[in-house]
Structure 1
Amino acid sequence: MTNPLLQDWDTPFDLAPFDAVEDAHFAPAFKTALEQARAEITAIADTPEPPSFANTIEALEASGKALDKVLAVFFSVAGADSNPARQALQREFGPELARFSSDMTSNAALFARIETLWEARDSLDLTPEQQRLLMLTHRRFRRAGAALTGAQEARMREIMARLAELGTAFTQNLLADEAGWHMALSEADLEGLPEFVVSAARAAGEELGQPGPVITLSRSLIVPFLQFSPRRDLREKAFRAWEARGAGGGETDNRAIAAETLALRQERAALLGYKSFADFKLETEMARTPAAVRDLLMAVWTPARARAEADARILTEMMHADGINEDLAPWDWRYYAEKRRRAEFDLDEAELKPYLQLDRMIEAAFACANRLFGLEFRRIDVPLYHPDCRAWEVTREGRHVAVFIGDYFARASKRSGAWCSSMRGQARTPQVQGPVVINVCNFAKGSPALLSYDDARTLFHEFGHALHHLLSNVTYESLSGTSVARDFVELPSQLYEHWLEVPEVLAEFATHAETGEAMPQAMLDKVLKAATFDMGFQTVEYVASALVDLAFHDGAAPADPMAKQAEVLEAIGMPAAIRMRHATPQFAHVFSGDGYSSGYYSYMWSEVMDADAFAAFEEAGDAFDPATAQRLEEHILSTGGSVEADALYTAFRGRLPGVEALLRGRGLAA
């Protein structure tokens, strides 16, 4: 059969022909493209010509393009629109890709060529970006075990293949548990719920083929249910199901997977000569050491826990006033915090939500990008992988820049959370290549779709990642966009969240779904005043997760991760009514792959910078100050990984920041 994944794409903007791609195309395309990539690597390693930057480093950069094209399509649909066939292919492809990577990095002839160039780097007359690419290529091979031989090399191959299997299994188990549970609600059970929650529950029931409304484990549905349902018994039932994901026993239990993953990571680090996996992982990050990470997290933990404990006392009194003379439980916190917010700020999420229409918030994100960077967005009609997806051409001064795809709604086939990915990265060699960028979210459907304030922040956050891709302007694709240190990658995304809180943005785009009227000034004032409400809770649940992640990887791997989790939480004095944002069996950031392993702290490390970076606009007296926006693009958003992260930030701001701006921004400063 003709396989569209192996053809040149005669499509608008060279987008994948999703309307022609079938699941049966993936395996043969993967096999063919993988063989081609292997042949390309062999040709580079075995060329009789002396090593040069062009025939080795640039040749590596240009290799595997057919495989990249196949995988970009496959992983886009596998993460956002999974099915049993695609899950089986993920289990098959993961170890194969790990073997391919191991074969490449353990190719002695290839590494010898790279080593020769590295030793001669000062005499090669390279541009700064070429020097950076050479350094990163050499470092990547060394850290992958290219210098290992014999039994150590063989063991590293086994470890990497097994880790790929475990990461896929963890993700699929979590998806199965999330898709496999729902709680049907009677009409009586809907009492006290605002209309937007009722509407979302009915839409979820329709999607699952249920006769009435249901609560699922989608965060955009279960969180508002926990906020608004006066039924403590139903809140407890829903919360316990949420907490039990990946830990229910049976085939989808992730606890053994977590233990094996941690043990293999520690063994991997030891093979490479590192004391711990955290030491290995943090070597290339801005933080550099586990001690630096722990210092930051504890500097924030102490005031956050104090705030959370004070809040817990107030919420407990409110619960007792309702006649429930028990300790405040995790399924109580959001409900009483919402009641307190209504009382203290006269701010009701049910009244706020109609002003936060999904389509208007998308317009707001685009409008801010236009004012800051001159980007324009034009809706285009192209085949995509799911009917919920939509696409825009991005231009600047009439010139094509990129294609942006948004996939915003929750569904059973989509893994939880929100993320940004690139189906094609920006590059200028071997030809100019515009990026194709996707934002994936899990918002509840509605007519129209309404967002919580947290949802709106998530939309701006992911679009901040997208801007990092859209504005990239480097020569080599492997350095483009978000190809930066993990604790720097969240800076553009978290920084962009600040524009949601710019009063003129909300005044223009926060319009009522029924009346079309702008958000009243009094409500806008209350929204901004309440921005740091419940920040003790939010900070505690996040920092606890980051500290557990660090403890898992800093030292010997724990035989029982759940016992280690409990030990860490007891040591830091975790408030009883708050749970980790991501408990171990659901910690996909850490166990679906090693992207955020030893790195979940990076959101907070980046927040130190984003608070300080937005202060640059405030100091200029204008959230859209052109000169500051130009510096932001020039030194951070356009440079990808072509320069060290701390040098980029210093070039933008003139110095590195301290933690003070973060504490002020979260309302935790003394």
Structure 2
Amino acid sequence: MNPEITHWSGPQGLPRFDLIKDEDFPAAFDQCLTDAEAAAEAIAANPAPATFANTIAAIETSEEGLNRLCAIFYTLTGVDSNPAREKLQREIAPRLAAHGSKISMDPRLFARVQAVAETAEGLAPEDRRLTELTLRGLRRAGAALTGADRERMAALRERLAVLTTDFTQNVLTDERDFVMSVADDKLAGLPDWLLRAMRAAAKERGMAGQVVTLNRSLIVPFLEYAEDRALREVAWRAWGARGSGAGAGGEKTDNLPLVTEILALRHERAQLLGYADFAAYKLDPEMAKTAQNVEDLLMQVWKPAVARANLDAEAFTQALHADGVNGALEPWDWRFYAERRRRAEHEIDEAEVKPYLNLEAMIGAVFDTATRLFGLEFREFEAPLWVPEARAWEITRDGKLMAIFVGDYFARPSKRSGAWCSTLTQQDKIGGGHRAIVMNICNFTPPEQPGAPAYLSWDDAHTLFHEFGHALHNILSDVTWPSMSGTSVARDFVELPSQLYEHWLEQPEVLDRHARHAETGAALPAALRDRMIAAGNADQGFATTEYLESALVDLAFHRGEPAADPMAKQAEVLAALGAPAAIPMRHATPHFAHVFSGDGYSSGYYSYMWSEVMDADAFEAFMEKGDAFDPETAAKLEQWILSKGDSLPADELWLKFRERKPGVHALLRGRGLETARS
């Protein structure tokens, strides 16, 4: 086995990606799986009485090599996929699932963990919490099952691993394969900055002229500015067709049969464990606890959101008719007329704003905000990463190494869409302790020419802050055990730090300091800054409605009996809600990767809204002090939210930070929807 896969020799402990080849991975998986199974067997077969040290702590460190291998491999399949990696991903998914089942359903291991749990009261608080979480994890994996039920659970987990991997690759194929050329006589309305991005996308693919791809940073502004309605429709339908069998990949990328089977198997899995349905299983350890609690929250926001959206739809329909187009407002019209209104009402010209939102300036804003709040310092250094444009920083505080941060910001055909935060290693205090190696992966439009400034939209800048909020949760983690470090928390708590951090982007003092013109260095004019911030809520009826549609459909999919026809179920839920026809789900079922690329956000897409209730209230804690950088509040945020991981239940951490339960009113006010409540 290539030793670099598990014993990283790069700068600051990073892997040497330049020394790792695709052909290294099969042997590495063979060896690491063998090692992990041997370690688990040694724990399970230990003749000594079960103790925290020889059972719980031993489990915690038993798969270090496998974890490092998976961190590297799945990082590469996300940021720089190729046919060899996709093939191996399909092959290894069921093997990893089978390995997980073998370990987590070993009755000897389960008995030892139970024995430690029975005497856990005498343990240190973090050790007791880890024991509780380990026992809960084993039970939820099926460790208490016997006979045919145990075998069926293992088979379900293995099959689901195959289905979710296929789902992910189908969406990636459709996103990668769609390219729409836009002729020179069809460019009306498109600003120069967007044309440059479209030409850069064409050049990257060896094409002449300008193209639209399914990179969100490209297709969304195209839908906002293109005056050619027919081209907007082609682009929007391609965006919506991903994974449906009608996308660029054709029938071979049809995810609907996969979705149907995933839903059925999840339901069966939940019932094997004694739950009524998958939503009940999934929500049991979360803050929300029940599907009804989730629905109650979402419907409090749905009513004012859809009321605002319906008013907007009437206004946009009138504008459509005034342009000489008869008929109904369609999904490919909404962003166009919303952007036109935003420019008119707030006197916003994206071409005027973008030079101030260049990537380097916004990275500076992200880092400086962390310095002012938490005393962090950043130093960029050279490292052999997966592509030359990926970058690495050392993060210190008072001379102490806190973490390593890696940023990979630009879209590529080989990269899956969206933006995410992940880790190569997590913080812990085992032995001499380990610091986190944290990654932010984005899909911003690269500059037309290498070395030229890369410009962000206001939405892109929010994404940059959002993902670094997740990074801070890992960087500032200060717990003993890696499995409850950083973002390893309840799903409906994990978005709190990320969404909270977005608030600092909109602070005038942050923009005044960092939103500097890429060419002249001039500060963002105060009047333009204020108009830009005011325009941020210009289309919240749409944004909130499309999100809630997805969250409510996700919840409905996993409550009760699974849908035999998911698309019919989706239509039924949207009809019952009275969803506006011109606002489809943010993530339609065939490409709803949050829900069907794995279990992470299944029955959990609501968590962004649940966390937003808290993040709006959390930022008010700073505003109550009259200072967005109030040091006392920042210290309390770090002490009880950012440093604690899952060492205490999420609701306890929240109460220790805020000393009261959050309410929905701050969220509605922040989204500009409070006046639309009914």
TM-score over 0.5 for the alignment? yes
CA contact (8 A) 1:4 1:20 kept: no
Q: SS of the counterpart of 2:17? A: coil
Which of 165, 176, 179 aligns to 1:182? It is 179
Counterpart in the other structure of 2:496: 491
Which of 624, 628, 648 aligns to 1:623? It is 628
Counterpart in the other structure of 2:148: 151
After TM superposition, the structure 1 stretch with the greater mean CA deviation from structure 2, 509-518 or 393-402, is: 509-518
Superimposed CA distance per residue, residues 22-64 of structure 1 (whole angstroms, 9 cap, x where no aligned partner) = 1011111111011000000000000110000000000000111
Cα separation, partners in 2 of 1:32 and 1:623, compared to 1, 3 Å: same
Q: SS of the counterpart of 1:408? A: strand
Counterpart in the other structure of 1:209: 206
Counterpart in the other structure of 2:21: 22
1:137 aligns with 2:137: no
**What does 1:304-315 correspond to in 2, within 5 Å?**
304-315=305-316
| CA-CA distance at 1:6 after TM superposition | 4.7
| CA-CA distance at 1:531 after TM superposition | 2.1
| CA-CA distance at 1:191 after TM superposition | 2.8
| CA-CA distance at 1:75 after TM superposition | 0.7
**What does 1:220-619 correspond to in 2, within 5 Å?**
220-247=217-244, 248=246, 249-446=250-447, 447-619=452-624
AA of the residue aligned to 1:246:
G
Residues matched between the structures, number: 667
CA contact (8 A) 1:5 1:70 kept: no
Aligned residues: percent identity? 59
AA of the residue aligned to 1:83:
N
| CA-CA distance at 1:514 after TM superposition | 2.5
Q: SS of the counterpart of 2:392? A: strand
CA contact (8 A) 1:225 1:235 kept: yes
Superimposed CA distance per residue, residues 391-442 of structure 1 (whole angstroms, 9 cap, x where no aligned partner) = 1000111111111000000111011110000000000013310110000001
| Cα distance in 2 for residues equivalent to 1:605 and 1:109 | 38
| CA-CA distance at 1:201 after TM superposition | 0.6
CA contact (8 A) 2:6 2:65 kept: no
CA contact (8 A) 2:263 2:558 kept: yes
Superimposed CA distance per residue, residues 289-336 of structure 1 (whole angstroms, 9 cap, x where no aligned partner) = 000000001000000000000011111111111111221110011111
Q: SS of the counterpart of 2:19? A: coil
CA contact (8 A) 1:372 1:626 kept: yes
Superimposed CA distance per residue, residues 514-558 of structure 1 (whole angstroms, 9 cap, x where no aligned partner) = 322111111111012222110000000000000000000011100
Superimposed CA distance per residue, residues 552-577 of structure 1 (whole angstroms, 9 cap, x where no aligned partner) = 00111000100000000000001011
| CA-CA distance at 1:210 after TM superposition | 1.0
| Cα distance in 2 for residues equivalent to 1:216 and 1:6 | 34
Counterpart in the other structure of 2:160: 163
CA contact (8 A) 2:396 2:402 kept: yes
Counterpart in the other structure of 1:638: 643
CA contact (8 A) 1:341 1:348 kept: no
Superimposed CA distance per residue, residues 490-531 of structure 1 (whole angstroms, 9 cap, x where no aligned partner) = 000000000000001111111122322111111111012222
CA contact (8 A) 2:5 2:15 kept: no
Counterpart in the other structure of 2:196: 199
AA of the residue aligned to 1:296:
L
| CA-CA distance at 1:350 after TM superposition | 2.5
| Cα distance in 2 for residues equivalent to 1:350 and 1:310 | 28
Runs of 4 or more above 4 Å deviation: none
Q: SS of the counterpart of 1:531? A: helix
CA contact (8 A) 1:5 1:29 kept: no
CA contact (8 A) 1:5 1:69 kept: no
| CA-CA distance at 1:7 after TM superposition | 5.6
Counterpart in the other structure of 1:219: 216
CA contact (8 A) 2:6 2:69 kept: no
CA contact (8 A) 1:422 1:435 kept: yes
TM-score (norm 1): 0.99
| Cα distance in 2 for residues equivalent to 1:348 and 1:325 | 28
CA contact (8 A) 1:5 1:25 kept: no
Q: SS of the counterpart of 2:537? A: coil
| CA-CA distance at 1:590 after TM superposition | 0.1
Flag structure 2 segments of 5+ consecutive residues without an equivalent. none
| Cα distance in 2 for residues equivalent to 1:351 and 1:334 | 19
Counterpart in the other structure of 1:12: 11
Q: SS of the counterpart of 2:536? A: coil
CA contact (8 A) 2:5 2:72 kept: no
CA contact (8 A) 2:10 2:384 kept: no
Superimposed CA distance per residue, residues 162-183 of structure 1 (whole angstroms, 9 cap, x where no aligned partner) = 0000010000000000111110
TM-score (norm 2): 0.97
| CA-CA distance at 1:115 after TM superposition | 1.0
CA contact (8 A) 1:4 1:17 kept: no
| CA-CA distance at 1:598 after TM superposition | 0.1
AA of the residue aligned to 1:304:
A
| CA-CA distance at 1:9 after TM superposition | 2.8
Flag structure 1 segments of 5+ consecutive residues without an equivalent. none
Q: SS of the counterpart of 1:42? A: helix
Counterpart in the other structure of 1:105: 104
Superimposed CA distance per residue, residues 447-478 of structure 1 (whole angstroms, 9 cap, x where no aligned partner) = 31111100100000000000000000001111
AA of the residue aligned to 1:127:
A
| CA-CA distance at 1:105 after TM superposition | 1.2
Counterpart in the other structure of 2:69: 70
CA contact (8 A) 2:487 2:645 kept: yes
After TM superposition, the structure 1 stretch with the greater mean CA deviation from structure 2, 606-615 or 204-213, is: 204-213
| Cα distance in 1 for residues equivalent to 2:357 and 2:189 | 21
Q: SS of the counterpart of 2:171? A: helix
